[in-house]
Structure 1
């Protein structure tokens, strides 16, 4: 016998190239070196003084510690505080300086532990005004109001504005935006920009609805270029704290430790350095500011703020299926936690493989994706595919599901309906209760009635499964003939708020076992290599097939499909292939059936035809 079924583990490549990033680290150390040269190129110069002030340099703050050194040539006086001021009093062909700083930078996560009302009634006027590049026009005001319409939570309003910019404005480093910063109004109209311009637009949207916001510039690591580069992000004012928001990196409410802060201000057009001099016959050529940032080392892995789980909402699907995937996230903290989650390993993802959600203190929510399996998987194979999701904080979770040709396909519409059924209404507040729901058995037959129970810790008005709501007891009897094997949701309600719980239902239907034989046409005298294939829509065990005029074949486990060969003289099956089958399902229910496969036999001798005719006549009588 030859077993043809193969279990094939399908591990797909990540949807994005896995490059090093430092999001998950709590702290890093970098060396920042800033150098500049100024050449005195005029004839017969007379210098009274030359003074330069470096504005673009790292500074001490709550999340950033600086150890710095300055080298000046020729010798001159300097003062180092929030800026570096250097003064030379003598003629020289070239003036230069080197500023070197060892920066210890922590992950910048600002904890906001309670709701702050929105709109903001008292604000700092300095950070809500329009500027040259962070301008505000009617289009910006209208768009901001559209995005935050009906929102009464300041953190949620900020999150919605940032998420809208990231989702709708394309990061595009083209010649028009690379060399000259464009205004926010231009970025909104053209729906593209670089980091400074995306940040400008976010600040404009925020300020237009009364949210104070400032522009921050510095250096940050990018895995696109595998190096540090100049970068701009923002900070918004929430509950007495400046909260970082980087719409380019998708970090809302925090920034990773590679964000080295140099400057902050009302606008994005601030200069990096200034120059002043006094004397006669003076002409200078001022070189480009050379800023280098090198990683020295990284410290321990940072804290993971969320707990994750992942599941395909359906399993054992057919080729071409659209499979809904749920990533559940639980906030482990008593403060707001913004989460960016990416599905990095899966079959083809329909739509984006990245989702953004904001978790309130101790809140649980889900992000959903739809993946599509190949249309025509190879026969005789069951494919098991890996699905893996990661957060920007470094956490990951993985799961799997299976598909094969013999299973029923799930349509895109069916997948979306499953997601709609389990999705949370973002506009409804989440109540602070613990709810867990479970069935009384792991697996059922479709003719059974299952019992669903929910345990509640906390006060609720009612708990609903579908349209059936209960105020106490929280037990439902479910007629399983009306349900499918998939994930379902239960909703606890209190004073207009809700809390969701999920449970999986696994329903075992009567197996559909088919037997196929090749060939079914053969010569009476021929030695035939018969191939018998058993196909089932569910897993079976302890299967015995008893073939008349041959004997028994025992199969310990049948997973979807099993084939074996029988070398037999054709005359043995001249009247067809009669068989009986006995087997058990997953719950040990036993089955028995008999059947016959009709065949076409050629070159049957006359004496055998006469014999077969007599046997048939006797049988009929």
Structure 2
């Protein structure tokens, strides 16, 4: 019989902060030998077992690309080749078979030069392009949460390079690298990664690809090897992504390493796929009473050469905001990156730790540099609080990049120099950032207006509180904005990304539905928010249809019945009835009251007093704001036709009640 077995490759690589060693970034060309080898194992069940042939198809070996040149490739045993697949075949094989693909290759330190803005969204696809934008079981780009996140990250952008940079840096910064059992044995899909905020290289790539495909950006998966210099690192199986740029072609993005728009020379390409988890090796055989399996591939890589000096692509400068500050003071470290090339670059910078300095924000930053663009990054720091005023303290500051570019500066802390509080240095940082934004961005005016009712219920003739938040979503200062509610207006300025909250109070006298209209207007910008509310009148209940006997006897048991009726359609709560009499008192809560309820109270004649008995029915209730309301009704019931014994009994009851009240 014939069987087809598919062998998958589990991808994992240790993440790096500054991955690899100097040759990965600084050499112009790097040479390697790559030996991929596997074993085929034949397990025979009996002496009658037979194997006519075994065939292994594999694409797990280095390929030539625009940055990778395979100079020599040798297979053992010999193979036939179809496309990017090698086929190993054995007739009447023995128990253990070995196969290998040995290659020598050179990788060029290359950054694909995208010199002009590529329009986003893009409608241009590569050949067979539809498969590179479709969701799969792993790349769940049709997940609403992923689509929402992708839209949020790309909102307002029209530059494909910038969109991909935002997506990649978000994944790298927000998903924790983890080679746990949950990710080591199988690839998790993008939805799982977004939910759990963790994964290995194939999980991080899956989420990045899903975000891209949610925006119809064509992406493909790349399987190969890469180098990590962390503990237990070295050469590891690895996966990364390539995104398609119309005119420019496929451009690499390694969200595990934080390399966006380029990859270091340690990345060795084996094969491409439109999906993650596509098996690179397939086993087929013809035999009986046997079990045939293939080991996981082993890859041996040797570095042969690292030639030439790769030029520095951008300039880096670091300087303190103040060269000298007081003791126990804040300061800003300003890093200026200048792209000297006429194409896009991405940079990853790290502010190294300095003894005696407290870093108050993230020490690492990803920066996208457009052609010939200069950008500044700001790091907020603070000197140690335990400084002696007898000394002058000098702090060396050093910044490094992923490509091992470095820049250094220093500043001093000493007595009698200006001291900066956190609030003051933060305000300076925000001002400098606004300057930076104005220098590098086209001015965009955009605001958000969100209003809401602060209370729970809306009644007429009650002050209704509303909140409105106005947020500057553009990249320019908005001046003299006017926020109004029915003639009540507030005039204010709004800084970049600033949100201001305003409160309004309004009183309406007519019940029923009403639209509350808020407007904010400024120069070339406006927004309107309409809240639909229903104004409630005060509730009103009445006591109606009271039914009772005008006179009763001593031995009578009679009913007092009445209807509680809602005469105004407005909700009520805590409806209570209190029957008040000189001798009797009965109070109870009417649960579940809606529009009307019949109440029936049973009374004994012997509990009354001789002659006229005055009863008061008191009805109390509240509205939804806990305001109290009360109404009442009065009736008279006579106790008549009493015998002498009954009269004496009533006299004694009255006497004892008088005594009780006397001593209360």
Fold conserved (TM > 0.5)? yes
> For the structure 1 residues 283 and 431, does the alpha-carbon distance in structure 2 shift closer, same or farther, using more than 3 Å as the test?
closer
CA contact (8 A) 1:365 1:424 kept: no
Instruction: Say whether the 8 Å CA contact 1:55–1:271 is kept in structure 2.
Output: no
Give the aligned partner of residue 257 of structure 1: 265
> 2:308 and 2:122 mapped to 1: Cα distance?
38
1:210 paired residue among 209, 213, 216:
216
SS of corresponding position for 2:170:
helix
2:138 is aligned to 133
Residue 378 of structure 1: SS of its match in structure 2?
coil
| 1:312 aligned onto 2:320 | yes
Do residues 102 (structure 1) and 113 (structure 2) align? no
- Pick closer, same or farther for the CA change 1:426–1:205 going to 2, 3 Å: farther
For 1:61, the equivalent position in structure 2 comes to 65
Displacement after TM superposition at 1:424 (Å):
4.7
- How many Å apart are 1:228 and its aligned residue? 1.2
- Following TM superposition, by how much is the alpha carbon of 1:426 offset from its aligned partner in structure 2, in angstroms? 7.6
Match of 2:613 in 1: none
Deviations 1:538-580 (A, max 9, x none): xxxxxxxxxxxxxxxxxxxxxxxxxxxxxxxxxxxxxxxxxxx
The answer on whether the counterparts of 1:338 and 1:357 sit within 8 Å (CA) in structure 2 is: yes
Output one character per residue of 1:159-196: Cα deviation in whole Å (capped at 9) or x when no partner. 11111111211112222112111000111111111111
Look up the match of 1:499: none
Stretches of structure 2 that go unaligned for 5 or more consecutive residues are: 1-15, 443-478, 480-523, 525-664
**Residue 168 of structure 1 pairs with residue 170 of structure 2:** no
- Cα contact 2:19–2:229 (8 A) shared by 1: no
Pairing partner for 2:87 from 85, 98, 104: 85
Q: Where does 1:188-587 land on structure 2 (aligned, <5 Å)?
A: 188-224=194-230, 225-240=232-247, 241-346=249-354, 347-424=357-434, 430=440
Q: Deviations over 1:304-335 (max 9, x none)?
A: 11111111001221233221111011110111
For residues 140 and 425 of structure 1, what CA distance do their matches in structure 2 show?
33
**Stretch moving more, 401-410 or 93-102:** 401-410
Structure 1 segments (4+ residues) deviating >6 Å: 15-19
Give the superposition deviation at 1:38.
Answer: 1.2
2: distance between equivalents of 1:416 and 1:119? 36
Structure 1 residues 425 and 222, CA gap change in structure 2 (3 angstroms): farther
8 Å contact 1:214–1:267 — kept in the other structure? yes
Q: Is the 8 A contact 1:40 1:283 kept in 2?
A: yes
Q: Which has the larger radius of gyration?
A: 2
CA contact (8 A) 1:307 1:331 kept: yes
Q: CA deviation at 1:18?
A: 9.7
Find the residue that maps to 2:285 and give its secondary structure.
strand
SS of the aligned residue for 1:158 comes to helix
C-alpha distance in structure 2 between counterparts of 1:37 and 1:324, whole Å? 59
Consecutive unaligned residues of structure 1, counting only runs of 5 or more, are 1-14, 433-466, 468-495, 497-621
- 3-state DSSP of counterpart to 1:26: strand
Cα distance in 1 for partners of 2:407, 2:296 equals 46
How big is the shift at 1:268? 1.0
SS of residue paired to 1:254: coil
Write the distance in 2 (CA, Å) between the matches of 1:91 and 1:172.
41
Question: Which residue of the other structure, out of 176, 184, 189, is the alignment partner of 1:183?
Answer: 189
* 1:210-259 deviation line (CA, Å, top 9, x unaligned): 11111111111112134111111111111331111111111111111111
Relative contact order: is structure 1 or structure 2 higher (C-alpha 8 Å, sep ≥ 6)?
1
**TM-score of the superposition, structure 2-length normalised?**
0.60
Deviation at 1:405, TM superposition (A): 4.3
